Amino acid sequence: MDHNKLALPVGTTLDRFIMRKQEDFPYATGELSQLLRDIALAAKIVNREINRSGLIDIAGAYGSQNVQGEDQQKLDVIANIRFIRALRNGGEVCTIISEEDDEMIQTGNNQGKYVVAIDPLDGSSNIDVNVSIGTIFSIYRRVSPTGREGTAADCLQPGTHQVAAGYVIYGSSTMLVYTTGNGVNGFTYEHSLGEFFLSHPDIITPKTGSIYSINEGSSDSFSPGVAAFVQHCKDQQFSARYIGSLVADFHRNLLKGGIYVYPATAKNKSGKLRLMYECNPLAFIVEQAGGKSSNGTRRTMEIEPKIPHERCPFFIGSKELVEKAESFIAKDTEACDHKPAPEPTPKKAVAAK
Ligand code: AHM
Ligand code: MG
């Protein structure tokens, strides 16, 4: 009897995977590895809180608004506390910027080499209705000298400077997906063992796809380029899939092929999503998986951030689809450039006295 069949191996845990990867870099100090483990620990705790949110009084509105004037859910606040606490206790991070906080958060670990940008719970308006939600994070090496608090320059680096990024999706199963710039790997949480196990090694996103994800409720205020791209998706008989929870929409498209778009609209003139907490980390992941991310005209990760809560239009997913969207936008821009300038309005004749 083959004993292995009686007890199948459980697979590679996230901890072991991180350790093995660290061994590839002989001079690595282990701090980044520890930081990723801190994030995974907080994710487990947040996962627990989310799972019991229907049973105890932590679903629903907290009664306050975040810095961007959006209603905070209780779980938004809880997730923010959990991640900040884990990062502070870990000691590797000097400064955090969070979608939920107005100001930079100094952890007191002035020797910490890293800064973290985090959206602790994205799509949280979906909590009450059992729709998948997520955490999105981005890790940068500080640029200021250690031994003092992190600075705005540490926190406002372009996405190309990320050393790691990832997300956690709290869905029908809970997964952590991350990159350190050497491919993308996904881990599924095994509740009974309390561990993330490698389930999606070396994720590669399809070059193209037939899913488009955009909130068409705002179509009246799409630019002509975006409207033409959406029409193109319909002409190709693509499937429209939009949950309204970025991590869930992104994760599906990453695995199946497709495009997620949050363009500029009348309500959100620069788009709704935040460059530092949502766009850059997912852009790093999608590029590492062979996909593409853009603001419609420019690579997301090359945008120089000016403020932590900066927003930008977002086109992300399969390379060919993002390029297609960009080409519709470029045609529209060209058409605008070639339109004759409007005739100046004639000045009213001043009545002679
Ligand atoms: P949040 O950070 O306040 O949760 O908002 C971000 C969410 C994304 O998860 C989602 O894709 C988008 O907002 C949905 O916005 P809309 O309802 O305008 O389509
Ligand atoms: Mg968010």
Residue 169 lies in a domain: yes
Judge whether residue 140 has pLDDT over 90. yes
Tell me what the pLDDT averaged over the chain comes to: 90
Q: Which of 1-15, 46-60, 129-143 has the highest mean pLDDT?
A: 129-143
Tokens found for residue 143: 């640029």
Domains held by the chain: number: 2
Residues 186 and 138 in one domain: yes
| Mean pLDDT on 98-122 | 96
In the chain, the percentage of residues whose pLDDT exceeds 90 is 75
- Residues around the ion ligand 2 (C-beta < 5 A): 119, 122
Exposure string (b/e) for 102-116, b if CB count within 10 Å is 16 or more?
A: eebbebebeebbbbb
Residues 229 and 320 in one domain: yes
| Mean pLDDT on 293-315 | 97
Residues 171 and 222 in one domain: no
Judge whether residue 352 has pLDDT over 50. no
What long-range pairs does 124-129 form, CB within 8 A, spacing at least 24? 124/73, 124/75, 124/76, 125/71, 125/73, 125/244, 126/243, 126/244, 126/245, 127/50, 127/53, 127/59, 127/73, 127/75, 128/59, 128/60
Report DSSP state, residue 13: B
Residues 296 and 238 in one domain: yes
Judge whether residue 33 has pLDDT over 60. yes
Residue 350 lies in a domain: no
Residue 351 lies in a domain: no
Ligand 1: residues whose CB is within 6 Å? 70, 99, 119, 122-124, 215, 244-246, 249, 272
Judge whether residue 71 has pLDDT over 60. no
Q: Which ligand is nearest to the CA of 118?
A: 2
Structural domain that includes position 181: 12-200
What does the pLDDT look like over 218-241, one tens digit per residue? 999 999 999 999 999 999 999 999
Given 166, 200, 234, the domain boundary residue is 200
pLDDT at 349: 45
For strands 259-262 and 239-240, give the pairing: unpaired
Residues 16 and 67 in one domain: yes
Judge whether residue 47 has pLDDT over 80. yes
pLDDT at 350: 44
Å from CA of 201 to ligand 1 middle: 28
pLDDT at 185: 96
Residue 4 lies in a domain: no
CATH number for the domain harbouring residue 28: 3.30.540.10
CA atoms within 13 A on the CB side of 218: 20
What does the pLDDT look like over 315-351, one tens digit per residue? 999 999 999 999 999 998 877 766 655 555 554 544 4
Å from CA of 49 to ligand 2 middle: 18
CATH number for the domain harbouring residue 242: 3.40.190.80
What does the pLDDT look like over 153-196, one tens digit per residue? 999 999 999 999 999 999 889 999 999 999 999 999 999 999 99
Residues 128 and 248 in one domain: no
Residues 125 and 161 in one domain: yes
Judge whether residue 62 has pLDDT over 70. no
Residue 28 lies in a domain: yes
Residues 229 and 184 in one domain: no
Q: Whose CA is nearest to atom 5 of ligand 1?
A: 123
Residues 191 and 101 in one domain: yes
